[in-house]
Amino acid sequence: MNRLKILTPIFLMFFILSCGGTKDTTQTEVKYDLIPKDTLTKAEEGGYGFEDVAESMGFETYTYTEEDYKFLGDTKAKKGGHLKFTLSRFPATFRALGQYYNYTENYYIMNALCYQSLLGGHPVTLERTPGLASHWKISDDKMEFFFRINPDARWSDGQEVTADDVIASYDIRMDETILMPSTQVTYGKIERPEAISKYIIKVKSKNLNWRNMLYFGGMVILPEHYLKDLDGTAYLEEYNFKMLPGTGPYIIKDEDIVNQESYSLTRRDDWWGKNDRSSKYMYNFDRITINVVKDNQALEFEKMKKGESDLYEVTKPPMWVDETDFEAANMGWIQKKRIYSNSPAGTWGYGFNMRKWPFNDKRLRYAFSYLYDREKFNKEILYNEYTAINSLYSGSEYENPNNPKYDYNPEKAVELLKEAGYNSRNDKGYLVHDETGRVLSFTIEINKSSDYRVTPMQQILKEYGIDMQIKFIDRTTRWKNLMDRNFTIDFQAWGGLVYPNPESMFKSTLADQKNNNNMYGFKSERVDELLPIYDTEFDHDKRVKIIQEIDSIIVESRYSALGLSRQPPLRILFWNKFGYPDYMISKYGGRMEDILYHWWFDDEKAKKLENAMNSKTKLDVGGMDQTFWKDI
């Protein structure tokens, strides 16, 4: 993370040498008069000159070194170009918060590029760094936080960023009508912020919590001069598919949103942070266009091969191994890279709706888990690139080493099914409950791209008398069904976190509410007891022990039949016309969205590519494995 990247995407295109290949210099024009510098606010109140008095007032900041700048863009980077790529779903909303906003696209494209938070994080050490706030202070009892907003900061409509914007951003999050109850859980631990002056904001915790500074400092700030006329309901309705002004390097214009088809971001030439050394060589593309190809990975892949798309993330191991041997890749026109990072491993598996038959019976959840032949799937479908997981925090220090291993055990599964009352089958071979006569049949809704993983599981279940019907739906509908708890079982993947936050997914009070990530209906008195202890424990080693206990309780519940994961490399194909830093992607992000922040269009490479294609000559293929972060 850098001072501007508080959150993180994928891409789309048109024609190799004209879309991503053209040096499109489209930028936003200044359509307002910039408010002049505020020379009236005193330095002690956060105005200009604050740097001279900050230390005496107890404030601190982070001063970048030349070594730091190596990870904040590349000095060879140039502005310009039009990057295009595809995604498989259209966002359910373009809002920065509230109902349905918790898509990766919202976090890593819209929020990360159009908005900012008070603080950022160092891309290597994770230390606090400036964002909208240049300085910060923590009281000795760690109950109060102070932030000094940079008086240079401006909204995309030219207005100043002030303490009132921070207060309004808190207020809208605490409005229950935004229909995102986990947001109130997170920010409800903090009192309403207080404006000490135009640029200094004070925040007080209701209870001691080591994460309050992390979450409040990382909160996306929105403009008070818009929010003052909106409650949560109006915000949801009026800004579902349009953007509030932001403070980030890009904007999304209303006319650049084509519902269910595409949307584009335009780089702001008037961005207040464009000359700051920590961001000067980042955010380089003049325009970024995302076209939507719903649930058709083969078509996305073909668009990239034809030059209609600049790059493509290969998520399926079979495609990476069997389908990337084609002319453009072999000639070096398209680069094939497997990029390693230190991003936390996520989880894959089948999540159960424990409120609903049949998985309200724990024995059915266990039986399903015992029939999940992960070793076979990994070998036959995933080319042994994954490992079986038995923890929410697989491979990290937070994993409980004593968690039981739920390996393939059909005998145990049958035993549990019989114990649950399934002892006979109907004429179709499916199990029927002894007392109710109900057939053990349910539906799983998936995207077409998951079919190759789910269908083999369907066949195994059928062998043991379980009828799992597969229904194909688009990703947006699937996510809405999950948020509305309108599902029985879901094949899902979650990314890993540097700092575990089990509260947002497993707090009992969220189990019976919609629009939050406790889609499973998980409840545990012991986990609820441990969550506030975790919040108030400042000793890292003790926090690890707390998370390990939480991990064991959650895994034991079988809220999910945990599947396979890995320390994932990013597998990408891209046309050979881009420049990028030696590290290629960030240390802890490890996502394709990092390309939006760190890469640039390279005129010289684009000309060489065009000449090579015209003359049918080869370019340097280069090494496939990029291990920068593993090697330092």
- Alpha-carbon Rg for the chain, nearest whole angstrom, is 25
Q: What is the mean pLDDT of residues 578-587?
A: 97
Region label for 377, one of left (φ > 0), alpha (ψ between -120 and 50) or beta (otherwise): alpha
Name which of 5-14, 228-237, 401-410, 419-428 the model is least confident about: 5-14
Predicted confidence band of residue 23 (pLDDT cuts 50, 70, 90): very low
Region label for 262, one of left (φ > 0), alpha (ψ between -120 and 50) or beta (otherwise): beta
Q: What is the mean pLDDT of residues 20-27?
A: 43
SS3 450: helix
Check: CB of residue 279 under 8 Å from CB of residue 75: no
Query: Cα torsion at 309, 280, 632, 123 (round to 10°)?
Result: -90
How would you classify the pairing of strands 334-339 and 625-626? parallel
> d(Cα 274, Cα 249) in Å, to the nearest integer?
7
Q: Where in the chain is the domain with CATH 3.40.190.10?
A: 1-341+568-632
- The CA-based angle 60-188-211, given to 5 degrees, is 40
Q: What is the mean pLDDT of residues 575-600?
A: 96
pLDDT digits (tens, 9 = 90+) for 443-482: 999 999 899 999 999 999 999 999 999 999 998 899 999 9
Q: What is the mean pLDDT of residues 480-508?
A: 93
Cβ-based neighbour number of residue 267 at 10 Å: 24
Check: CB of residue 220 under 8 Å from CB of residue 117: yes
Q: What is the mean pLDDT of residues 327-335?
A: 98
pLDDT at 1 over 50: no
Predicted confidence band of residue 386 (pLDDT cuts 50, 70, 90): confident
SS3 176: helix
Cβ-based neighbour number of residue 528 at 10 Å: 14
Q: Residue 447 contacts by C-beta under 8 Å, 6 or more apart in sequence?
A: 88, 295, 472, 473, 474, 475, 478
Cβ-based neighbour number of residue 197 at 10 Å: 17
Name which of 12-16, 475-479, 504-508 the model is least confident about: 12-16
Predicted confidence band of residue 519 (pLDDT cuts 50, 70, 90): very high
Q: What is the mean pLDDT of residues 316-325?
A: 93
CATH number listed for the domain at residues 1-341+568-632: 3.40.190.10
Residue 163 backbone phi and psi in degrees, to 5: -60, -30
Q: What is the mean pLDDT of residues 408-425?
A: 98
Name which of 122-136, 269-283, 558-572, 607-621 the model is least confident about: 558-572
Q: Residue 301 contacts by C-beta under 8 Å, 6 or more apart in sequence?
A: 312, 314, 319, 323
User: What is the per-residue pLDDT for 239?
Assistant: 97
Predicted confidence band of residue 18 (pLDDT cuts 50, 70, 90): very low
User: What is the per-residue pLDDT for 34?
Assistant: 66
Number of residues assigned to the chain: 632
3-state secondary structure 531-549: HHHHHHCCCHHHHHHHHHH
pLDDT at 495 over 90: no
Q: What is the mean pLDDT of residues 90-116?
A: 95
User: What is the per-residue pLDDT for 284?
Assistant: 99
> d(Cα 386, Cα 585) in Å, to the nearest integer?
21
Predicted confidence band of residue 33 (pLDDT cuts 50, 70, 90): low
Q: What percent of the chain has pLDDT over 90?
A: 87
> d(Cα 543, Cα 152) in Å, to the nearest integer?
38
User: What is the per-residue pLDDT for 496?
Assistant: 82
Q: What is the mean pLDDT of residues 536-563?
A: 96
User: For residue 321, how many C-alpha atoms fall within 13 Å in the half-sphere facing its CB?
Assistant: 9
Q: Where in the chain is the domain with CATH 3.10.105.10?
A: 347-565
**More confidently predicted of 345 and 397:** 397
- The CA-based angle 489-490-492, given to 5 degrees, is 150
Helix pair angle (540-556, 525-536), 10° resolution: 160
User: What is the per-residue pLDDT for 565?
Assistant: 80
Which pTM was predicted? 0.87
> d(Cα 341, Cα 237) in Å, to the nearest integer?
39
> d(Cα 91, Cα 71) in Å, to the nearest integer?
30
pLDDT at 3 over 60: no
User: What is the per-residue pLDDT for 102?
Assistant: 86
> d(Cα 511, Cα 513) in Å, to the nearest integer?
6
Return the CATH superfamily for domain 347-565: Dipeptide-binding Protein; Domain 3 (3.10.105.10)
Q: What is the mean pLDDT of residues 246-261?
A: 97
For residue 264 the two structure tokens come to 């584009």
Mean pLDDT: which of 294-298, 349-353, 628-632 is highest? 349-353
pLDDT at 497 over 80: yes
Region label for 468, one of left (φ > 0), alpha (ψ between -120 and 50) or beta (otherwise): beta
pLDDT digits (tens, 9 = 90+) for 41-97: 999 999 999 999 999 999 999 999 999 999 999 999 999 999 999 999 999 999 999
> d(Cα 20, Cα 135) in Å, to the nearest integer?
39
What's the chain's average pLDDT?
93
pLDDT at 8 over 80: no
User: What is the per-residue pLDDT for 566?
Assistant: 66
> d(Cα 217, Cα 118) in Å, to the nearest integer?
5
Check: CB of residue 286 under 8 Å from CB of residue 268: no
Predicted confidence band of residue 103 (pLDDT cuts 50, 70, 90): confident
Residue 454 backbone phi and psi in degrees, to 5: -85, -35
Q: Residue 550 contacts by C-beta under 8 Å, 6 or more apart in sequence?
A: 502, 506, 527, 530, 531, 534
